[in-house]
A and B are shown apart, each in its own frame.
Chain A
Amino acid sequence: DSGVTQTPKHLITATGQRVTLRCSPRSGDLSVYWYQQSLDQGLQFLIQYYNGEERAKGNILERFSAQQFPDLHSELNLSSLELGDSALYFCASSARNPGSYTGELFFGEGSRLTVL
């Protein structure tokens, strides 16, 4: 158990809908990362937050948004869903500040989104 909690574990929805994925980092970790893993793709970096502020952004679609709340949990919002958004979405947390590149990531178990 990494200490990172993601909900829901599985989600099935229809095209055009909107969903929210939730992540609670390990106790004390201030950095939260979101990754997407689609079929035949590696882990694609979406976005990183540190203590409530956005610190790095990857190839995150405009239809996607995220935030980190004062209690440090994070939410990833996916809207106007398309079939291609079906993927496993991972949240990870790290104890290090965003300027430190040596902090290992602790991953949640992922949220599997299926868009029909």
Chain B
Amino acid sequence: ILNVEQSPQSLHVQEGDSTNFTCSFPSSNFYALHWYRWETAKSPEALFVMTLNGDEKKKGRISATLNTKEGYSYLYIKGSQPEDSATYLCASYQGGKLIFGQGTELSVKP
């Protein structure tokens, strides 16, 4: 099992700022890349599942892109709000297992 890396580890922004973070995953034998949002004291919830190179997904102010050839995905949040504060996890499907990165912890200050 190869590592899924996320950066930065944490991010502090002001309300209204736009932000983005990165997920790096093994590009060989790529199947799917998942993004999850994990709020404190809750359980992770799926944001996107992406499979095709060049794929772009959007949900409200959150969007994601996928580059399977170079093995990275970006998650963008436009106009961050305090309720966006959470840990954002990406996961790569490898060998029948969904392998998670350590997450990017986002804190949005009012």
Contact = CB atoms under 8 A, between A and B. Distances in A.
Interface stretch (A10-18, A39-47, A61-69, A75-83): A39-47
Given A33-B98, A102-B49, A90 B43 contact: yes
A42 B101 contact: yes
A56 B45 contact: no
Nearest to A88: B43
Which of B42, B44, B95, B99 has the most CB atoms of chain A within a 10 A radius of its CB? Answer: B44
Contacts of B102: 41-42
A107 interface: yes
Contact of A58 (B31, B44, B97, B103): B97
Q: How large is the interface on A (under 10, 10 to 19, 20 to 34, 35 or more residues)?
A: 20 to 34
B30 to A, nearest CB: 10
Contact of B46 (A44, A58, A104): A104
Nearest to A33: B98
B32 A105 contact: no
B43 A107 contact: yes
A48 B42 contact: no
B6 to A, nearest CB: 8
Given A98-B96, A102-B51, A105-B98, A42 B43 contact: no
Interface of A: 2, 4, 33, 35, 41-45, 48, 55-56, 58, 90, 98-99, 101-110
Q: 3 closest A-B pairs (Cβ-Cβ)?
A: A104-B46, A42-B102, A107-B43
